[in-house]
Amino acid sequence: MLYSHDWAPLIGGIQTITTALAEGLAKWAATHEGKVVNVTFVTQTPADGMNDSSLPFRVIRLPNLLKLVSLIHSADVVHLTGLPFLPLVLCLLLRKPTVVEHHGYQSICPNGGLIYLPDQTICPGHFMAGRYLNCIRCNSDSPGLARSLSASPLHSHVGGWPAGLV
């Protein structure tokens, strides 16, 4: 099962890559006799006129919670694009092998972007250098001070979530 919150007919890099992956898996399955691979693509994006039946894999759009649980439960492996929280939690609860593909996230930075937001410049590496107050200052402009503190490297050092996961 492949899951991407945003997908076709929206246009972008994630949509292109995940479509190519699903098509490649379906094509591989079709050319390897005796190997059963059922590719199901799950998304929260409405079809908006797109004909999903023309694709070489099954597409499930806008599943409710019970349907999502059922799809994950029946999958052998789940591939998540981005970091969709609910599907990730369900995969963990159902103990499913899961691959998380996350574009552009830098785990060494509490906001994930390596951009110093107060002046919109490339971060010189405040987190790696232990200048945590600069990380808090950076994040406090956008998500607010409380969220900045909960996502900061300081929080991870006192028994909280690992930096960048909150």
Structure tokens at 96: 């499913």
Q: How many domains does the chain contain in total?
A: 2
Asked if residue 129 and residue 64 are part of one domain, the reply reads no
**pTM for the model:** 0.64
Q: Which amino acid is at 88?
A: L
Asked if residue 119 and residue 95 are part of one domain, the reply reads no
Q: Domain of 150? A: 115-157
Q: Is 106 a domain residue?
A: no
Q: Is 164 a domain residue?
A: no
Output 89 or 151, whichever has higher pLDDT.
89
Cα first-last separation, the chain: 26
- pLDDT value of residue 122: 87
Q: Is 144 a domain residue?
A: yes
pLDDT digit string, tens, across residues 100-152: 887 766 777 877 778 888 888 888 989 889 898 998 888 775 545 454 444 44
> Is the Cβ–Cβ distance between 21 and 92 less than 8 Å?
no
Q: Is 108 a domain residue?
A: no
The DSSP result for 43-93, as a single string, is: ESS--TT--GGGSSSEEEES--HHHHHHHHHH-SSEEEES--HHHHHHHHH
Beta bridge partners of 41: 2, 59
